[in-house]
Copies of this chain bind each other. A is one copy, B any other.
Amino acid sequence: MMTMKLYHRPDCPFCWKVRLFLQEENIKLEEVCVDLGETHPDVVALNPNGTVPVLVDGDVVLGESAVIIEYLADKFPGSSLMKGSPSQRAQIRQLHYDSDHKLGKIIFPYIKQIRESEQHKASDDLLKKTSEAWAREQKKLTRTLGEKAFFNKEFSVAECALIPRFALALAYGLTLNEDDQNLKQWFYRCVKRPSFLDTLPQALPAIDEMVKF
């Protein structure tokens, strides 16, 4: 049987999401790390966008993280990360979509500015705008989570998508809403799982330096 291969950048939230999925499902494959800004010839040849993640499984080549996750959940139908009724699966997909498209848009310009500025700082304006939007998103997630331990009762693709966003936000100086205790507990619950520790990018500080448990 051919080994699957994943091209990824460890601190890319889309890639990290896929690696959390693989780790939680105990799916083994060959990993090829790509650095930020690196033009990897395989990636360029495989994916017209030149972006990671890229999954190669025999003839199947997939270059969008959301499509990769659905593919893996289809291919390994015992997967516990997409399980439930159609409405539960829709809620997982809605959270996955919002994490990829909305949380990403809020946090990414801020992280990019820090990475690219000489002082490794964002402007006060951008910090304020990002912090406010990030706090509002946490409020929305708190309402969706309610009293549950995880968004779909058990750890799911929703957590695979959201946890890298949260970890990156904290690593770059944003904070968890003090009032949203259930969401904080949810985050602590996730980052203590072996899958998080095993996939945490080396470039990020240890999570206990980001958050006081």
- Identify the A interface with B (CB < 8 A): 48, 57, 59-60, 62-64, 66-67, 70-71, 74-75, 86-87, 89-90, 93-94, 97, 140
**Are A74 and B86 in touch, CB under 8 angstroms?**
yes
- Tell me the number of copies of this protein: 2
Least CB separation from A58: chain B residue: B87
Least CB separation from A96: chain B residue: B67
The 3 closest A-B CB pairs, nearest first, are A74-B86, A71-B90, A75-B86
**Are B90 and A74 in touch, CB under 8 angstroms?**
yes
Out of B48, B70, B75, B86, name the residue touching A93 (CB < 8 Å): B70
**Are A71 and B97 in touch, CB under 8 angstroms?**
no
Bound together, the chains give a CA A74 to CA B57 distance in angstroms of 25
**Are A71 and B59 in touch, CB under 8 angstroms?**
no
**Are B66 and A89 in touch, CB under 8 angstroms?**
no
